[in-house]
Amino acid sequence: MILETAVLSIKPGQETEFETAMKMAKPLIAASDGFQDMEVRANLDVPGQYLLLVWWDSVDDHEQGFRGSQRYGRWKELLHHFYDPFPTVEHFGGSITPGKTAIYDKIGIGYDNTRAPDPRIADRLVELMAPGDNARILDIACGTANYTGMLARRGMDMTGLDLSATMLQAARSTNPDLPLIQGSVDAMPLPGNSFDNVMCTLAIHHFPDLGKAFTEIARVLRGDRFVFFTATGEQTARYWLANYFPDAVKRASELDPSVDAIKEALKVAGFHRFEFVNWDVPENLKDLFAYAGKDNPELYFTEGIMDGISLFSNLAHEDEMASGLKALRADIDSGHWQSVRQQYDHDQGDYCFVVAEK
């Protein structure tokens, strides 16, 4: 594996437009043979400057493959007019230090203690997938197979796939007869046209690249409907949690794909029809993900709750966690939290189901 790097200097005042364009352009490069992953990071010391990092199988995959494709023409149209000066691209070899383990290997231990499947989410998934009789359903990034197992117990023909060995070990302990496969969503060890439906719950923000992942999903999907449950970046940014954990919520909203990025990735993958169905957190939610405490802030003081939520376990620094919980505790006790909660009211949904069809 090789690493492509470039320092991108953006014309003054055009940073926001550049970031939007980059999110739209990412599926174009991700559809290339040999593409592995990509990151764009803002320079904290130099305003308007960004570091582009792209991992490839080989230099030729970048120089000959992507740059020789029609997608590169669209990439140039979206991005090149922002640069001043035009960047120099360099390629580097493999790392001389070990890489990080999968995020969910870190939070997988004890995950089931707080992340029980909620029947209302399962019901909505089934309703939107509308599977036919004897349909084979693949659950992508199934984690500990909570939703996979729940639907299997309802008589559905389920298969789960996840990258994390820790998650799958926990899944097999509670679902010994469930077909579970370890693999990456962007290179699934599965034959094409092998599933009637594909589903996914709260995981697309961890995919290395949406375009490549959605293309793989389209490859294994012999039916025409892929349904996933997620939060868009726009929705996450509206959580009242931002009042107490601003840096973590900002990072999460940047990791959660925007509506436009999801649409672009689906189009690249060959999904031509898609619908966003907004969903608000209900009372007594069983699956305690990030905004489960929307109307019950005491939930965030429950022992172990933060360990199963990547927004807190992976994106919040220790100091921010301590100060945020202290401020939240004070606002709950004084009653001021209700005022904070009202400031973040909106009608755009806390999460959404996305229904995509080929």
In sequence order, the 6+-apart residues with CB closer than 8 A to the CB of 295 are 281, 283, 341
Determine contact, residues 214/259, Cβ cutoff 8 Å: no
Q: What does the pLDDT read at residue 261?
A: 95
Residue 196 makes CB contacts below 8 A (sequence gap 6+) with: 131, 132, 135, 136, 137, 221, 222, 223
Q: Could you tell me if 289 and 202 are in contact, meaning their C-beta atoms sit under 8 angstroms apart?
A: yes
Output the pLDDT for position 73: 94
Which residues make up the CATH 3.40.50.150 domain(s) of the chain?
A: 104-357
**pLDDT at residue 113 in the model:** 57
Q: Please tell me the predicted confidence (pLDDT) of residue 135.
A: 96
State how far the Cα of 326 lies from the Cα of 334, in Å rounded to an integer: 12
Helices vs strands, H then E, count in the chain: 14, 11
Contact predicate 164/184, CB 8 Å: no
Measured CA to CA, the distance from residue 261 to residue 21 in angstroms comes to 9
Do the beta carbons of residue 87 and residue 8 sit within 8 Å?
yes
Three-state SS for 216-232 is HHHHHEEEEEEEEEECC
Q: How far apart are CA 72 and CA 29, in angstroms?
A: 8
At residue 106, the pLDDT reads: 46
Nearest to 174 by CA among 195, 188, 201, 153: 153
Q: Are 237 and 249 in contact (CB under 8 A)?
A: yes
> How far, in Å, CA of 230 to CA of 154, rounded?
23
Rg (CA), the chain: 21
Tens-place pLDDT, residues 290-310? 999 999 999 999 887 887 787
Element (H, E) at 39: strand 35-42
DSSP 147-182: HHHHHHHTT-EEEEEES-HHHHHHHHHH-TTS-EEE
Q: Where in the chain is the domain with CATH 3.30.70.100?
A: 2-92
Residue 112 confidence (pLDDT): 54
CATH topology classification for 2-92: Alpha-Beta Plaits (3.30.70)
Task: Report d(CA 207, CA 203) in Å as an integer.
Answer: 7
Low-confidence ranges of the chain (pLDDT < 50): 98-110
Which secondary-structure segment (H or E) carries 21?
helix 15-30
Kindly report the pTM of this predicted structure.
0.70
As a whole number of Å, the end-to-end CA separation of the chain is 32
Task: Confirm or reject CATH 3.90.1310.10 for domain 104-357, answering yes or no.
Answer: no
**Does an H or E element contain 41, and which?**
strand 35-42
As a whole number of angstroms, the distance between CA 227 and CA 130 comes to 10
With b for 16 or more beta-carbon neighbours within 10 A and e for fewer, the 112-145 pattern comes to bebbebbeebbebbbebbebeeebbbbbbbbbbb
